[in-house]
Amino acid sequence: MTDAAVINVAMFRYVSALVIILLSMGMGPVAALGQGNPEDPHKEPLSNPADEPPAVESEPEESASDSGEKPRRRLLKRIGPQPVTQEEREEAERLRRIAAKYGTDPTAIVGRVQLTSQYLDLPQGAQGAVTTARVDVPFRGNWLMRVDTPFLKWSDPDRPGIPSQHGLSDLTVTAAWRAYNTPEYALLAGVVTSLPTAAEPGLGLGKYTLGPTIATARFVPRWDSFLIGLLQYQTSVGGDPSRRDLSRFNAAIQVNSFWGRRWWTVVQAVWNVDFERSGKSAMTMEFEGGRNLVGRFGAYVRPGVGIWGRDVAGAYDWNIEVGIRYMFASF
């Protein structure tokens, strides 16, 4: 078996295992813990509880086995939406509206203008700074178009004679469709592509990339919050033949919580896998604290730290990101 075949088999196993895990846990891209009812809630359309099957208090318990042990729930019963009470459904809907208004629910179909700036402390003394302008445009009810325009600056003191570079990096475009949407569970699926628009070779990949992206958000009544899962895979499909090919996968899990009337937090773990380097992986942990400033304006700060594999693309020793966003009710 060739090296390329081995890499493809490993990639398939990674992606298949993570899709099964995320579906079974009901994760998705972020929702919310909530204690408060902010003014001007977002009017994003959600399913009408009257149109849904009546909620049940709990699943009927299965009879115990002859040994006296309670049988385990079947795997298929743990996949997908779970039964909730009417009270839990109403709380989930309230938090979904708050999360959409503050821009922390990746499955929400809502317009956005956002500006972020991130400092990265990289391995071997290298440093980087990324400023990204993001625009989200919703259309046709359950579709979303996203454009990320990053500006990159980096320097490496361990490479004398090579000056630091700064300028436009690779443009990223995402088109996504919300395939399932209830107050307690949502699923967004789409395609993400990047274009080799970098001003200098060292500021971008030099490749066209394409791949799928999935986000889910599930309300967890026990925590009174949403559990979010994000999956994304990118592979190079063209571009400069002298540049290295790309085959990367990343998975993120988030817990988004709201505090009082204006504050939110996000705890996130991100796993990156580089299949062009025999499946070498990296893990980072990040914590975000944000506040609604006025109306639909919000700001946040997000520090992070590398756990392992800090020389893998997308990883770092530590970073800090600040951002400000304005969320539209609609365009």
Q: Is residue 106 one of the residues assigned to a domain?
A: yes
How far is the CA of 308 from the CAs of 18, 214, 278, 285, 297, in angstroms?
19, 24, 16, 10, 35
Helices vs. strands in the chain: H and E counts, helices first: 3, 13
Better-predicted residue by pLDDT, 2 or 152:
152
210: left (phi over 0), alpha (psi -120 to 50) or beta: beta
Q: Is residue 315 one of the residues assigned to a domain?
A: yes
Q: How many alpha carbons lie under 13 Å from residue 287 in its C-beta half-sphere?
A: 1
Specify the pLDDT at position 221: 87
| Closest C-alpha among 277, 211, 213, 278 to residue 244 | 277
How far is the CA of 175 from the CAs of 210, 212, 275, in angstroms?
11, 10, 24
Element (H, E) at 149: strand 143-155
Quick: pLDDT tens for 110-134: 999 999 999 999 887 889 999 999 9
The yes-or-no verdict on residue 189 having pLDDT over 60 is yes
Q: Is residue 50 one of the residues assigned to a domain?
A: no
The yes-or-no verdict on residue 54 having pLDDT over 50 is no
Range of the domain at 111: 3-45+81-327
Q: Is residue 66 one of the residues assigned to a domain?
A: no
Q: Is residue 32 one of the residues assigned to a domain?
A: yes
CATH of the domain at 300: 2.40.160.40
